[in-house]
Structure 1
Amino acid sequence: MKNILLKYILCSLLIGSIIYFSALFKLNLPNFLRFYLNDFLIIPVVLYSSLQVLKWSKNNKSYKISTFIIIYICTLYSILFEFVFPEFLERYTKDYLDILLYYLGGAVFYKLQQIEGNSIHT
């Protein structure tokens, strides 16, 4: 499937923006959408952006982000947004479900990256 990762990221950005602006305009969304969906969507967006920079900087269009780096980014987000920031910034709260959602988002990115990589070679 050609460009499946790009399509997923564009949909994620659209959905994330709708959630953000609905909160900004005080539109009432279900709690799960308001508080959790963006945590699921953010890791693939960050990894995709990083992947594009790495493909360009390494001049390698078939470059893939390793499983280790995906896990590292999920762990970094978990530590920063669920343990460090809540200690110092009132806007952030510690929520263990967010950690699960970061890793699920990383797993989705990994799977889509594999699917897209396989379609390049077939």
Structure 2
Amino acid sequence: MTVLKNPIFFVSALLFWVNQGAEKLFGETHSFIRSYEDDLLAMPVILGITLQVFQWIHPLKNQFRFTWVQCLVGFLYVSVAFEGILPLYSETYTRDYWDIVCYAIGTFGFYKLINPKASPQISEG
């Protein structure tokens, strides 16, 4: 199954974009859910879109999946960029360690629920 047809990816992406639109339309609110919804959904959306592009260009197509190490690298990249580096250079970004927890939960959710399962290897006996 391609990533775009995965209902969990679809719902995650839809909720992410609806939340972004609501923030732009109505302004930012400071409720707990609003504060962390984007962070929970960011990794499934980022990794899901990236995986879909890889599936389009990789010779194995829909059999291609991310390893746990690749997911970990994505998590570390987003965490360091958004919670470490960007707050140093812009007042738009604030360091919040709960965001990192949300990125971790989102990465785990992507790996278990959206990333395709590994195909069993057929041994040539």
Deviates more, 1:4-13 or 1:60-69: 4-13
Query: TM-score, normalized by length of structure 1?
Result: 0.83
Could you tell me which residue of structure 2 aligns to residue 111 of structure 1?
112
| Matched AA of 2:20 | Y
Mapped partners of 2:9, 2:92: distance in 1: 26
Q: Aligned in 2, Cα 1:15/1:6: closer, same or farther, shift over 3 Å?
A: same
* Matching residue of 2:89: 88
Distance 1:28 1:74, change over 3 A: closer
The one-letter code sitting in structure 2 at the alignment partner of 1:88 is Y
TM-score by length of 2: 0.81
Decide which structure has the larger Cα Rg and report it: 2
Aligned partners of 1:64 and 1:113 also within 8 Å: no
Give the fraction of aligned pairs with identical amino acids, expressed as a percent.
26
User: Does the CA contact (< 8 Å) of 1:42 and 1:102 recur in 2?
Assistant: yes
Going by fraction, where is helix more abundant, 1 or 2? 1
Distance 1:92 1:105 in 2: 20
Once residues 114 and 34 of structure 2 are traced to their aligned partners in structure 1, the CA distance between those partners, rounded to angstroms, is: 27
- Is there any run of 5+ residues in structure 1 with no aligned partner, and where? none
Tell me what 1:50 maps to: 50
| Shift in Å, 1:103 | 0.8
Classify 1:112/1:82 alpha carbon distance in 2 versus 1 (closer, same or farther; 3 Å).
Answer: same
| Count of equivalent residues | 118
In 2, distance between residues paired with 1:39 and 1:95? 11
Aligned CA RMSD, in angstroms, stands at 2.4
Cα deviation, residue 32, structure 1: 1.8
Gaps of at least 5 residues in structure 2 are 121-125
